[in-house]
Amino acid sequence: MRKLLLTVPLLLAMAVPADAGKRPDQYVIPGDRVFPEGIARDGKAFFVGSTTDGTLFRGDTREREMEVLSPGGTGGRTTAIGIEALKDGRLLVAGGATGKLFVVDARTGEALGSAQAPPGATGQFFLNDIAVDGGFAYVTDSPNHRVLRWPLRGGALEVLADLPDRRPGFNANGVERTGKGELVVVQSNTGALHRVTTRGDVRRVDTGGTTFPNGDGLALAGRTLYVLRNAAELVVPVRLSKDALRGTAGRGLTDPSFKYPTTLAVEGKRLLLVNSQFDRRSAQQPPELPFDVVAVDRPR
């Protein structure tokens, strides 16, 4: 059984091994320079990308080993950040500093096209995370602190909303659909949550003074939003109001299996977390192999 680590000032929820003997609690990503990011589920299948070269990997929640779906460089994809699986069998992949949104066949890995983001205030791009509502995908652009919109039938990326309080570094990061016509975005450098409607209206979520510095991936189960704080290696559940304008943070969760996790997905009563190991890359240290996705029970 895993031992959980206590951090201050947040109390931590106790976790137990996730469905021991039924499904793996570790999913191994092939390769020794992957530094993975992004995760999307489609039934028992899930998908993860490599920030190093854009390789896409496919896993099965019943099997420990993942496999290559689409090699890096396919369709000009040189990195993979956020990933979203569509119901029609396509994957959307955020292309980070390339400023591109890539479209990929989830069955074959074939490149189906891409869209380029319009110029932003900083002169840079970092397309980071993706959420889908109705007939559009919504993509965060971190340095420009904005949300872009792309029609699922194809077309151009356009600006939906510029978010307030843009600062140097990473701003808008994780995005999640929290209701029909509503998204929530976490701002990494301030730790704020913002509600963005699909009409482009933006309001800060009132969390009673609690912030989520280094907030990265978001995942939703019911009205509980899971905020992953990457450097802190901490998952914080936030109970949202029906209109997503208020939130109450619960007890955070950490685990010895976490290695600078950056994004997560809900899988039943479990969370799947992608261990990026970006801290080791930044420090020019070798990664701890294998690269992996780990599963823990969801905190309540």
pLDDT tens digits for range 165-180: 999 999 999 999 999 9
Confidence category of residue 24, pLDDT binned at 50, 70, 90: very high
Measure the CA–CA gap between 182 and 159, rounded to whole angstroms.
16
The DSSP code for 253 is B
Query: Which pLDDT belongs to residue 22?
Result: 85
113, amino acid identity: G
CATH number of 26-297: 2.120.10.30
pLDDT over 50 (residue 210):
yes
Residue of 210, 172, 204 whose CA lies nearest to 189: 172
pLDDT surpasses 80 at 117: yes
Strand, coil or helix: 112: strand
Neighbour tally for 61: CB within 10 Å: 20
- Model confidence at 299: pLDDT above 90: no
pLDDT over 50 (residue 17): no
Q: What is the mean pLDDT of the chain?
A: 93
Query: Is pTM beyond 0.75 here?
Result: yes
Which residues have a Cβ under 8 Å from the Cβ of 129 and sit 6 or more positions away? Answer: 38, 81, 82, 94, 139, 140, 173, 174, 175, 217, 218, 263
pLDDT for 142 beyond 60? yes
Of the candidates 170, 157, 101, which has an alpha carbon nearest to the alpha carbon of residue 130?
101
User: Once rounded to an integer, what is the mean pLDDT over residues 55-78?
Assistant: 98
Residues 187-219 as b or e (16 or more Cβ within 10 Å = b)? bbbbbbbbbbbbeeebeebebeeeebebbbbbb
Structure tokens at 187: 């701002």
- Please, is 12 exposed, middle or buried when counting C-beta atoms within 10 Å of its C-beta (0-12, 13-18, 19+)? middle
Identify the CA nearest to 155 among candidates 134, 137, 173. Answer: 137
Of the candidate ranges 19-33, 212-226, 230-244, 246-260, the one whose mean pLDDT is the lowest: 19-33
Q: What is the mean pLDDT of residues 221-250?
A: 98
Q: What is the model's pLDDT at position 21? A: 56
Domain ranges of the chain: 26-297
